[in-house]
Amino acid sequence: MKVVVAKSAGFCFGVKRAVDSVYEQIENNDNDKKIYTYGPIIHNEEVVKDLEKRGVSVINSIDELKKVKNGIIIIRSHGTTKETYDIIEDNGLTLVDATCPFVKKIHKIVQDEKDKEKHIIIIGNSAHPEVQGIRGWSGNDTTVIGNEEEAERFELKENKQVCIVSQTTFNYKKFKYLVEIITKKGYDISVLDTICNATHERQAEAKKIAAEVDEMIVIGGKHSSNTQKLYEICKNECNHTYYIQTLDDLDLSNFKEDSYVGITAGASTPNNIIEEVHTNVRIKF
């Protein structure tokens, strides 16, 4: 059996930085302050459980955050709204901002463009925390567009310029397609492709590998949108694509001795999980 692991599998720069910052806080917490992350630090249950064991709690909503009057709050790589920063400051909490710099850049863009009175379009999934965070900086005159229907339906209420940005983990092809639909409406549009290269590279490499192998394994959290997209891309290329969270979910009974197997993983998948799957696939045959 031949096994290939994608070079771009696993933590991207932003997620690694955010996870490392939590472990750093645990290590350097001399004053024994309570440590919180605003939302799970990444979409990976294993990592979140490990952090819980080390005393890190997850705050799940603005209302929960408002009640916290003491401690360290870590903002995850997805970033968050301006309102969240205001509450942290008002409550006298210690802020550790692990927002990925690429997401921060989008916050800055939409804030600047909003100040120029532009209508902001975010191409992305409206339920995703990153998009909700960006929305929190772009003002009320914002539309989130996630699919063809929403793009077709989009109509500018006032005669304004439009600025389009994207969720960092959005599928590049789909982004281009949705922008094309909106552009046809004839508005004065500026498009800023804010899709992160890490995602693009991971998707392109996964597609290439999936097209060549017999079985493709995609590792990542159930709720990780970038892993779900990775799975979609691989499934399109390789019918035998398996979506697993950990080694426990992997059923190797369908694999043949002479199979060519590909492995990739979403941005929130720790290296040790990828390694474990890789090792087990190799030793099985």
Q: Is 243 in the site for ligand F3S (CB under 6 A)?
A: no
Please identify which residue in the block is written with the tokens 């004053």. Answer: 31
Of 130, 201, 275, 276, which is the active-site residue?
130
Smaller CB distance to ligand F3S: residue 96 or 238?
Answer: 96
**Closest approach of ligand F3S to the CB of residue 206, in Å:** 14
What does residue 150 show for φ and ψ, rounded to 5 degrees?
A: -65, -35
Candidates 6-14, 28-36, 141-149, 153-161 — which segment interacts with ligand F3S by CB under 6 A? 6-14
Site for ligand F3S in 87-126 (CB under 6 A): 100, 102-103
Query: Which one of 163, 179, 267, 273 is in contact with ligand F3S (CB under 6 A)?
Result: 267
**DSSP assignment string, 80-129:** --HHHHHHHHHTTPEEEE---HHHHHHHHHHHHHHHTTPEEEEES-TTSH
Judge contact between 81 and 136, C-beta under 8 A. yes
**Closest approach of ligand F3S to the CB of residue 129, in Å:** 12
Nearest CA among 111, 110, 112, 108 for reference residue 124: 110
Q: Is 130 a catalytic residue?
A: yes
Site for ligand F3S in 165-204 (CB under 6 A): 168-169, 196, 198-199
Residues contacting 106, CB < 8 A, separation 6+: 134, 165, 168, 194
**Closest approach of ligand F3S to the CB of residue 56, in Å:** 19
Query: Rounded to whole angstroms, how far apart are CA atoms 64 and 58?
Result: 10
Whose CB is nearest to ligand F3S?
14
Query: Rounded to whole angstroms, how far apart are CA atoms 104 and 64?
Result: 24
Judge contact between 211 and 237, C-beta under 8 A. yes
**Closest approach of ligand F3S to the CB of residue 172, in Å:** 13
Query: Which one of 4, 13, 152, 176 is in contact with ligand F3S (CB under 6 A)?
Result: 13
Query: Which one of 8, 25, 77, 224 is in contact with ligand F3S (CB under 6 A)?
Result: 77
3-state secondary structure of 148: helix
**Active-site amino acid positions:** 130
Q: Which residues bind ligand F3S (CB under 6 A)?
A: 12-15, 77, 100, 102-103, 168-169, 196, 198-199, 267
